[in-house]
Amino acid sequence: ADREFIESRRRALKRFINLVARHPPFSEDVLLKLFLSFSGSDVQNKLRELVQGVGDEFMTCRLATQAKDFLPADIQAQFAASRELIRNIYNSFYKLRDRAERIASRAIDNASDLLIFGKELSALGSDTTPLPSWAALNNSTWGTLKQALKGLSVEFALLADKAVQQGKQEENDVVEKLNLFLDLLQSYKDLCERHEKGVLHKHQRALHKYSMMKKQMMSATVQNKEPESVEQLESRIVEQENAILTMELRNYFSLYCLHQETQLIHIYLPLTSHILGAFVNSQIQGHKEMSKVWNELKPKLSCLFVGSSNMPTPPLSPPEGNFFSN
């Protein structure tokens, strides 16, 4: 029932669907099309039925076994460099997003303060407490001040409204776009981690197992073990070689997918200029509109400074030293 939590989840789901729907391979995926178009109540069962026929991407992609041919010779070095670059970009954009959130939040907090400030001025101007005769040198002073203060709440409410608009605009046009790019960068980081802990780790483990089996084969040959056991070991080595070949192909296919994802990240990078443009425009427009209201408010304060003939000036600060010395 937390409204802020629900809104944050709604925004996150919108970003997720946008990223998936704009992703070149995913945009044509039958599961995505069903998820976006199905209107029945048993969508989970339909998705479960459909996913059973999708299969392993490595088995269904026609380029899977040829992925190595599309990769540069130094793919491992490029992968490491790209991962480091994306990590640095992510860290910087994460800090930018936090600062942008704080700026937008301050604008909304400023709106709340301005609204309360105006309400207090209005409350002060609407005060009906009788004024004792000895409380002021000029009985009309307090009445004039109250009349002027009472009408200022409208302008402060307008200032508050402008501040809220600026904060909301920065949330939608700056913070939300930064969050979109951060989601994309985070997914890339997760994909790199899955590659290293998944396919690459299995490939290395298969190579290690193959090395151990070769050592066992050499030992069996030296010790002149029974032909049946040697044949079984040879058969296992052949199976392991086939498994290694498949693992190697999967490893290259995984790197090929990461290579494509790296290009996608760089396609999204120009979003930075749009984010900065939206931020600058928001600041210019917000300050311009706020300045206009402040300038319209200033003439309405003239009745508070009617001059010494109608209103006594406030006492000046006492000179240095003892206030009562004279």
- Per-residue pLDDT at 322 exceeds 80: no
Hey, where are the domains in the chain? 3-35+86-127+143-300
Structure tokens at 91: 């860290």
b vs e for 194-216, b when ≥16 Cβ sit within 10 Å of the residue's Cβ? ebeeebbeebeebeeebeebeee
CATH code: domain 3-35+86-127+143-300 is 1.20.1270.60
What's the N-to-C CA distance of the chain in angstroms?
68
Q: What is the pLDDT of residues 172-195, one digit of tens each?
A: 999 999 999 999 999 999 999 888
% of residues, the chain, pLDDT over 70 = 82
pLDDT, greater one: 223 or 258 = 258
Closest C-alpha to 162, from 289, 255, 311? 289
pTM score of the predicted model: 0.76
Lowest mean pLDDT of 162-171, 229-238, 246-255, name the range.
229-238
According to the model, what pLDDT value does residue 154 have? 86
According to the model, what pLDDT value does residue 137 have? 58
Q: Report how far residue 65's alpha carbon sits from residue 103's, in angstroms, rounded to the nearest whole number.
A: 50
Q: In 3-state terms, what secondary structure has residue 305? A: helix
Q: What is the pLDDT of residues 244-280, one digit of tens each?
A: 787 888 888 889 989 999 999 999 999 999 999 999 9
Confidence band of 144 (pLDDT split at 50, 70, 90): confident
Q: Report how far residue 124's alpha carbon sits from residue 36's, in angstroms, rounded to the nearest whole number.
A: 56
Report angle CA 251, 201, 25 to the nearest 5 degrees: 40
Q: What is the pLDDT of residues 75-116, one digit of tens each?
A: 889 999 999 999 999 999 999 999 999 999 999 999 999 999
Average pLDDT of the chain to the nearest whole number: 83
Closest C-alpha to 244, from 269, 267, 279, 211? 211
Query: Do residues 73 and 129 make contact, with C-beta atoms less than 8 angstroms apart?
Result: no
pLDDT, greater one: 14 or 26 = 14
CB atoms within 10 A of CB 240: 18
According to the model, what pLDDT value does residue 140 have? 67
DSSP sequence for 58-111: HHH-TTGGGGGGGS-TTHHHHHHHHHHHHHHHHHHHHHHHHHHHHHHHHHHHHH
